[in-house]
């Protein structure tokens, strides 16, 4: 006799709980996420992933995949790829010149101690359940409400910087130049009506986006990224300028809000912080409408920030 069977793939409940408490760091490009990522990575018991391409693409599919399938991929990636492989000494960036190098945040003894033996999965699994998963992906702000629905315990940290230095920096780097019309730090693009734009540009905005100048695009991108935060008033938002002015104080508040403790290299990272570029930059060639929109969004978000 035929019997109907239903089945569903899912992760271990302990993995779901650990992933559900992950630290998610985001902000626009050029807003200080790399610096704060190193700070978080240096905290005790934190395993951290720097802009993982697989996770970047997964977020772009958040509204296209079934929720349970998306969660399975998300949880498997963060626990098995980031946590377990990190603790086992696998897939770590040891190039000290890269911003993503683990050597910027962990001591040599802690890093190379992972190479002293082979680590079975069971032991790494148990150890991983006692540690904190963290990852950094810029541009995730529009996805925060949906991610909070799936994982209410996620600890978010959003970096906020004045739009003028952000826009001018991205413009200097040529990230919004034609004819590619793309955000140049990613290989994932979006095709809309035969035109290629950044994957982070909503399809409904693509036509207007293609008509903007590169500098106007930078300001419009800024506004579109931060506007969703206005519906999430309880997020941890950190002013880049405050971090530069009161590094030790703000760093301590970040650790406290995230429930983390300083590690062996945390004080060294804090002491190394300095502002590289002047704040009083005057944009030229940007439309008043695009800049004023970005400035207003920044003013509203800054009221919520530390």
Region of residue 112 (left: phi > 0; alpha: psi -120 to 50; beta: else): alpha
Helix residue spans in the chain (DSSP H): 13-19, 33-42, 53-60, 67-76, 85-87, 108-112, 121-128, 144-150, 163-172, 206-211, 214-226, 240-245, 247-258, 266-272, 288-302
Q: What is the pLDDT of residues 166-225, one digit of tens each?
A: 999 888 887 777 554 444 556 677 787 777 777 877 777 777 888 888 899 899 999 999
Q: What is the pLDDT of residues 24-60, one digit of tens each?
A: 999 998 899 999 999 999 999 999 999 999 999 999 9
Mean pLDDT to the nearest integer, 54-80: 96
CATH topology of domain 13-274+289-302: Rossmann fold (3.40.50)
* DSSP structure string for 255-300: HHHHT----TTHHHHHHH----S-S-----S--HHHHHHHHHHHHH
Mean pLDDT to the nearest integer, 14-28: 97
Task: Kindly report the average pLDDT of the chain as a whole number.
Answer: 91
pLDDT, greater one: 238 or 177: 238
Residue corresponding to tokens 């008043």? 288
**Region of poorest pLDDT, from 130-134, 194-198, 265-269, 271-275:** 194-198
Mean pLDDT to the nearest integer, 96-122: 94
Query: Can you state the percent helix, strand and coil of the chain, rounding each to 5?
Result: 50, 10, 40
Whole-model pTM: value is 0.92
**pLDDT > 90 fraction of the chain, expressed in percent and rounded:** 74
């Amino acid at each position: 006799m035929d019997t109907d069977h239903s089945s569903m793939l899912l992760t271990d409940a302990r993995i779901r709980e650990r992933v559900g408490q992950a630290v998610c760091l985001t902000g626009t490009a050029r807003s200080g996420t790399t610096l704060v990522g190193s700070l978080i990575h240096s905290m005790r018991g934190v395993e951290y992933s720097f802009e993982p391409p697989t996770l970047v693409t997964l977020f772009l599919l958040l509204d296209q995949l079934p929720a349970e399938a998306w969660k399975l991929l998300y949880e498997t990636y963060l626990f098995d790829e980031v946590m377990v492989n990190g603790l086992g000494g696998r897939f770590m960036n040891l190039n000290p010149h890269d911003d993503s190098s683990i050597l910027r945040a962990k001591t040599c003894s802690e890093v190379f101690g992972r190479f002293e033996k082979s680590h079975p999965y069971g032991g790494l699994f148990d150890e991983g359940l006692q540690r904190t998963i963290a990852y950094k992906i810029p541009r995730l702000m529009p996805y925060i409400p949906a991610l909070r629905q799936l994982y209410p315990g996620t600890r978010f940290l959003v970096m906020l910087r004045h739009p003028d230095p952000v826009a001018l920096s991205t413009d200097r780097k040529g990230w919004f130049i034609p004819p590619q019309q793309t955000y140049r730090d990613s290989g994932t693009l979006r095709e809309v009506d035969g035109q290629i734009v950044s994957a982070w540009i909503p399809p409904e905005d693509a036509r207007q986006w293609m008509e903007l100048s590169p500098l106007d695009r930078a300001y419009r991108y800024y506004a579109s990224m931060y506007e969703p935060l206005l519906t999430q008033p309880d997020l941890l938002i950190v002013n880049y300028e405050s971090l530069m002015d009161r590094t030790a104080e703000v760093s301590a508040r970040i650790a406290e809000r995230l429930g983390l403790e300083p590690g062996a290299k945390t004080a060294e990272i804090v002491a190394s912080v300095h502002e590289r570029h002047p704040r009083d930059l005057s944009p030229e060639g940007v439309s008043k409408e695009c800049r004023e929109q970005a400035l207003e969004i920044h003013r509203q978000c800054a009221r919520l920030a530390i």
